Amino acid sequence: MERNGQSIDQWLRENTFHHREFDDLKRLLHRKEEEGLAISLCIPTWNEAQTIHQVVTALKKDLMDQLPLLDEIAVIDSGSDDDTREIAAEAGADTYLASDILPQYGSKSGKGENLWKAVHQLKGDIICYVDADIRNIHSRFASATLAPLLFHRELFYVKAFYDRPLAFAEDLSPSGGGRVTEILVRPLFSMFLPELSAMIQPLSGEYAVRREVLERLPFPVGYGVEVAHLVDLHQSNGLGAFAQIDLETRVHRNQSTMNLGPMAFGILQTFIKRMQDQGIVHANIELGTLFRHFPIDNRREEPFVHEIAEEERPPMITLPEYRARHGR
């Protein structure tokens, strides 16, 4: 299959990188200065007191204090009821409550909400996102994702991929992470959008994007945000807009199986809606919003019922406050 003259196999050869290609941070800084770019890092959080200090400290030490590759490190918090914000500020991050950003548009609950508000709050021409729960944090989780954008102007969006061990208490199973990707997202992409099946970790929380792209994308406020971005940018620019980079291994707090169901449900809502909008799925049906599942240890108990409706924020470029703040 080809689009814009590039086959999937060719894309995998030319647009898949390894972090070792960009380990020379002085080279990255030189390229950043040549391009005249500002780079921001966003860490979305909700109750991440256990890991946020080491995440901020590792990234700030290598990418701001030793070499100014990043111009700002910002934590955008969903309203943690632990000490996440205080610990992040002590470690040196700029810390914001998502509800305090663009308050005239209200506050929604979800990771996508934090990512959307970061586009307004932060100043970078490139915005890197890094999750807050990484236990083996290293500066490459930010520097490697932004690096291909510095050297390849035709790229707009770079996703990290890695091995994802499954954590059990203090022990690690060498594989088993990325369960929603393998049992939901990859089958959907393979069936409906085969080019995107070339993405090894489509739900990776570590990626870098040019502002000119982010400001024109709608943002589901929940877990559908990453899939939405891939589908929307693929529709407008094709596979050639993307790259991916190997970070080797990522160890983090794994979600329980019970938590993965609602997450997958929200992602599926987002995906089917886009397939309907693009005319790929023609059934004119109203998507359900109630997700019902049962306790794993006793399925005769009352089920858990969640109301999940993947609301979406509009492209940031449509907001007059954003255009005024960023001179658009």
Give residue-wise pLDDT tens across range 46-100: 999 999 999 999 999 999 999 999 999 999 999 999 999 999 999 999 999 999 9
How much is the average pLDDT of 106-134?
A: 96
Q: How many domains does the chain have?
A: 1
| Choice between 164 and 177, residue whose per-residue pLDDT is larger | 164
CATH of the domain at 290: 3.90.550.10
pLDDT digits (tens, 9 = 90+) for 203-230: 999 999 999 999 999 999 988 999 999 9
Domain limits for position 11: 2-326
Q: Cα(182)–Cα(201) distance, rounded to whole angstroms?
A: 9
d(CA 302, CA 317): 45
Radius of gyration of the chain (CA): 19
Q: What are phi and psi of 174, to 5 degrees?
A: -65, -15
Could you tell me the pLDDT band of residue 176, with boundaries at 50, 70 and 90? very low
What is each CA distance from 263 to 116, 117, 166, 176, 181, in whole angstroms?
A: 18, 21, 18, 17, 11
Residue 182's pLDDT is what?
93
Amino acid at site 309:
A
Residue 273 predicted with pLDDT over 80 = yes
Cβ neighbours of residue 4 under 8 Å, at least 6 residues apart? 238, 239, 240
C-alpha 219/C-alpha 224 separation (Å) is 8
